[in-house]
Amino acid sequence: MAAIKMIGIGDEGKISLLPLYEKWINESDVLIGGRRQLTFFPEYNGEKIVIESGLSSLVKRLEAETRNVVILASGDPLFYGIGSYLSSKIDLEIYPHLSSVQLAFARMKERWQDAYFSSVHGRSMKGLAQRIDGREKIAILTDTENSPNKIAQYLLSFGMSEYRAFVAENLGSENERCRWFSLDEMKEAEFSPLNVVILKKTGENPRWSIGINDEEFFQRKPDKGLITKKEIRTLSISALRLKEDSIIWDIGTCTGSVAIEAAKIAREGQVFAIEKNEPDLENCKQNLAKFRVDATILHGKAPEGLDTFPDPDAVFIGGTAGGMEEILDNCCTRLKDGGRIVLNAVTIENLSEAMTAFKECGFQTNITLAQISRSKPILNLTRFDALNPIYIIEAWRQEGE
């Protein structure tokens, strides 16, 4: 059987194809594609198969196919398209067309090698805020659910008003339309379902380095101080050994300070946090919006609810309010290979309980006792105020366990 040909096609239909590509299509026995792509070939004599859902079933069908097959795909099949998945399963020859993003930047008359690319086509917008925050130029593939209007509403909920949007609709077709918008304007406008959104930063965005000052966070009043302090937070996050795509749990998130700083590092990952106190949860939500972090926050008392989170690469435990053994057993069982658990303990009793639980789970540990003092003015002099000593326990699975 000859290799299956995958041909990218534009919204303008047949006229976007090289004559050779059209010849291959006409000579094929089976033509596969989306419903819209197949309508470009009303006179096709072979069998047409519509790709609707379930690429795995399509792969099984193609593996058993002995006829000459051509697959049509929109634009560049390897740019957020089906080409990457199918080529990993079957023998494909891929002939791309211009991608919609490439065409959009051409209409915008801007270079695009320095842009950040993302897609909310058929996927959740969750986490988009931290992924794009501060980037100069962002191209986003949309769908009917995650439309330009929804994107504008989402970005404004995180205060990202420094962006202007270029929306390119129906690229390459006779109904093509390209327009500039403020986010407030884009929120109210109407768009064709086929569009690409390009965000361009035209103003300054707030910037935060690692070790955000405690005073920057919304906290419970009058009981300020229920927050993982800046110095402890920095040491704890360092111990988590986060990667750009890490999946992180924050148990007992309180103000969300650790979740927020972790998300700034793991921008392409996901953050899942749980908090039992409702007033703290409300402060956490305000902090997430302020610091432009879109994490999944659950109101509850761990370990309840942890089963709804995906397996983590890193777990931070700032507070347990009891049930530590069950929580640690859950975390140790679910932690991915090479992952880290970091637990902050204030009392020697909690330290002892944690160490026993980690040992029973076969985890190795390293403990840092952090005794931090901060300078404080007194008249025209300076003295030091001590923070509560904190045990920072780092735990990881022993090799072979």
Strand partners, 178: 168
Nearest C-alpha neighbor of 388 from the set 231, 275, 237, 240: 231
Q: Encode pLDDT of 50-106 as tens digits.
A: 998 778 889 998 988 899 999 999 999 999 989 999 999 998 999 999 999 999 999
* Sign of the Cα pseudo-torsion (296, 299, 300, 301, in order): positive
- pLDDT at 152 (0 to 100): 98
The C-alpha angle 81, 100, 114, rounded to 5 degrees, equals: 95
- pLDDT at 76 (0 to 100): 94
- pLDDT at 54 (0 to 100): 79
Residue with tokens 């594609």: 33
Sheet containing 340-345: order of strands: 296-299, 270-275, 247-251, 314-317, 340-345, 390-397, 363-370
- Per-residue b/e over 263-278, b at no fewer than 16 CB within 10 Å? bbbbbebbbbbbbbbe
pTM: 0.89
Q: Under the phi-then-psi rule, with left for phi > 0, alpha for psi from -120 to 50, and beta for the rest, what region is 342?
A: beta
Q: Is 324 exposed, middle or buried (0-12, 13-18, 19+ CB in 10 A)?
A: buried
H or E, element range at 83: helix 83-87
Sheet containing 177-182: order of strands: 116-119, 137-141, 195-201, 163-169, 177-182
Task: Return the beta strands (E) in 170-246 as ranges.
Answer: 177-182, 195-201
Nearest C-alpha neighbor of 325 from the set 296, 348, 302: 302
Q: How far is CA 125 from CA 281, 296, 310, in A?
A: 22, 12, 17
- pLDDT at 125 (0 to 100): 96
Report the C-alpha gap between 140 and 158 in whole angstroms: 17
Q: Encode pLDDT of 305-353 as tens digits.
A: 999 999 999 999 997 667 899 999 999 999 999 999 999 999 999 999 9
- pLDDT at 12 (0 to 100): 87
Q: Is 63 exposed, middle or buried (0-12, 13-18, 19+ CB in 10 A)?
A: exposed
Nearest C-alpha neighbor of 260 from the set 225, 299, 221, 214: 214
End-to-end CA distance of the chain: 46
- pLDDT at 401 (0 to 100): 55
Report the C-alpha gap between 217 and 386 in whole angstroms: 21
- pLDDT at 226 (0 to 100): 78
- pLDDT at 323 (0 to 100): 83
Nearest C-alpha neighbor of 220 from the set 261, 253, 179: 253
DSSP 8-state assignment for residue 210: S
Q: Tens of pLDDT along the chain (401 residues)?
A: 568 999 999 888 898 899 999 999 999 999 999 999 999 999 999 999 999 877 888 999 898 889 999 999 999 999 998 999 999 999 899 999 999 999 999 999 999 999 999 999 999 999 999 999 999 999 999 999 999 999 999 999 999 999 999 999 999 888 999 999 999 999 999 999 999 999 999 999 999 999 999 999 999 876 655 799 999 999 999 999 999 999 999 999 999 999 999 999 999 999 999 999 999 999 999 999 999 999 999 999 999 999 999 999 999 999 766 789 999 999 999 999 999 999 999 999 999 999 999 999 999 999 999 999 999 999 999 999 999 999 999 999 977 55
- Identify whether the C-beta of residue 33 lies closer than 8 Å to the C-beta of residue 51: yes
Domains and CATH numbers, the chain: 4-98 (3.40.1010.10), 101-201 (3.30.950.10), 214-397 (3.40.50.150)
- pLDDT at 100 (0 to 100): 92
